[in-house]
Amino acid sequence: MANTRIVSLKDFEDYAARTLPVSEWGYINTGGGAGVTQLRNEKCFREYLIRPRVMYPVGIPDLSTSLLGQQVSMPICVGPTASHGIAHESGEIGTAGAAYKSKTVYCMSNMSTTPIQDVSKANASGIRWFQLYQLGATQTELIKRIRVVEDHGYTAIALTVDVPVYGIRYADERNNFSLPSHLELAFHVGGKTTFKGEKGSGLSGFTTGGSIGWDFLDWLISITRLPIVVKGICTPEDAILAVKHGASAVWVSNHGGRHLDAVPGSLDLLCDVMRGLERVGSRVEVYMDGGVRYGTDVLKALALGARAVFIGQPVIWGLCYKGEEGVHMVLELLREELRLAMILAGCKNVHDIAKGLVVHKSEYLNSKL
């Protein structure tokens, strides 16, 4: 029998692939359309190379940083992913508990299967953000939801802006992806507590087909004291607009390549967005997600301008493996890989992970010719 000891994030992925039902695995794992963007997300990281500095005593590197003024132990955070009850019976309680243990941000999805009060208890003194989908809700419904989020001690709202309609997802279509009957959505979306696929994915019924505009961001900022992070930014044009409209941070993401296919890889998007923000002199915090699987990926994203990375699928793989303990293992494995990468590359702290530490392979090869 093959040695199944868990030593890398890929081992968690293999475990989840082997153990989850086909329909749940299809939902978690599949990219949109031909899956080009999802593949690019990981591939892109291989195209950037690290130029390590030596003879620079690093000692014990300090991985801590701050996000929106709150201290985290490392620049690796838990991104919002829907319905954790499909991966493990502990659901979002396991995930929130693990993020608390690792002293990092847990961003709870709007489509979670655990009531917010239970999630809050599992992570009472941790840093919790809430991810919001508009999904055709009225202003009254949204205000009500945001008050609940505020009252439960969430410290930021990540407004996801990149799914005006549900993308083409062949596996979910084939499997009529549905929420298992023992689960419920914690936030009733459009009056619905569940979703059932009859001719295709049950999730596609949630989107209204109408994109929200920048006036929605203006409105959201006007009705809450919480900082708003705009998640799903792919271009410098939109990053600049988000900042102009008062976003507290920009979250570069192609949604893990799950909806619109043929978008560039997330690290390429980050570089493009950073160039645009630099041109206008913006120093807004920028986060990124999509395809982060190794500590060196985190190092690369930080060197290219991200303040922190968020992980999506690896958290669900960890949850599937062993609930809270599994997610904690995923986070600590990435932390350890980043720590080693920092020592090997000559970085004492996150400020040392700066521009020039990482180059695109084409740039490097050309400059050496």
Ligand X SMILES: CCCCCCC(=O)C(=O)O
Q: Which does 227 bind (CB under 5 to 8 A by kind): ligand FMN, ligand X, none?
A: none
Instruction: Report, in Å, the least distance between residue 9 CB and ligand X.
Output: 19
Helix, coil or strand: residue 169:
coil
- Picking from 295, 310, 306, 279, the residue whose alpha carbon sits closest to that of residue 345 is 295
Q: How far apart are CA 182 and CA 89, in angstroms?
A: 10
Structure tokens at 91: 């659901």
Q: How far apart are CA 23 and CA 175, in angstroms?
A: 6
Instruction: Report, in Å, the least distance between residue 113 CB and ligand FMN.
Output: 11
Amino acid at 198: E
Decide if residue 80 touches ligand FMN (CB under 6 A): yes
Strands 228-233 and 249-252: parallel
Q: Kindly name the residue from 84, 88, 255, 259 that is annotated as catalytic.
A: 255
Q: Which does 166 bind (CB under 5 to 8 A by kind): ligand FMN, ligand X, none?
A: ligand X
- Picking from 171, 160, 164, 107, the residue whose alpha carbon sits closest to that of residue 133 is 160
Structure tokens at 143: 């205000």
- Picking from 71, 216, 90, 222, the residue whose alpha carbon sits closest to that of residue 155 is 71
Q: Which does 132 bind (CB under 5 to 8 A by kind): ligand FMN, ligand X, none?
A: none
Q: Which is nearer to ligand X, 63 or 78 (CB)?
A: 78
Instruction: Report, in Å, the least distance between residue 41 CB and ligand FMN.
Output: 6
Q: Which is nearer to ligand FMN, 27 or 154 (CB)?
A: 27
- Residue 255 is among the residues annotated as catalytic for this protein: yes
For residues 284-313, which are near ligand FMN according to CB under 6 A? 289-292, 311-313
Our separate counts of H helices and E strands in the chain read 13, 12
Instruction: Tell whether residue 293 is among the known ligand binding residues.
Output: yes
- What's the DSSP call for residue 157? E
Q: What does 117-136 look like in DSSP terms, one character per residue? A: HHHHHHTTTS-EEEEE--TT
Instruction: Tell whether residue 178 is among the known ligand binding residues.
Output: no
Q: Which does 224 bind (CB under 5 to 8 A by kind): ligand FMN, ligand X, none?
A: none
Q: Which is nearer to ligand X, 164 or 276 (CB)?
A: 164
Instruction: Tell whether residue 291 is among the known ligand binding residues.
Output: yes
Residue reference for tokens 């084939």 = 174
Give strand pairing partners of 228.
Answer: 157
Residue reference for tokens 């989908």 = 133
Binding characters for ligand FMN, 217-236, by CB under 6 A (x = yes):
--------------x-----
Contacts with ligand FMN by CB under 6 A lie at: 27-28, 41, 79-82, 109-111, 131, 160, 231, 253, 255-256, 258, 289-292, 311-313, 316
Annotated binding site for FMN, which residues?
Answer: 80-82, 109, 131, 160, 231, 253, 258, 289-293
Annotated binding site, which residues?
Answer: 27, 80-82, 109, 131, 133, 160, 169, 231, 253, 255, 258, 289-293
Residues with a catalytic annotation lie at 255
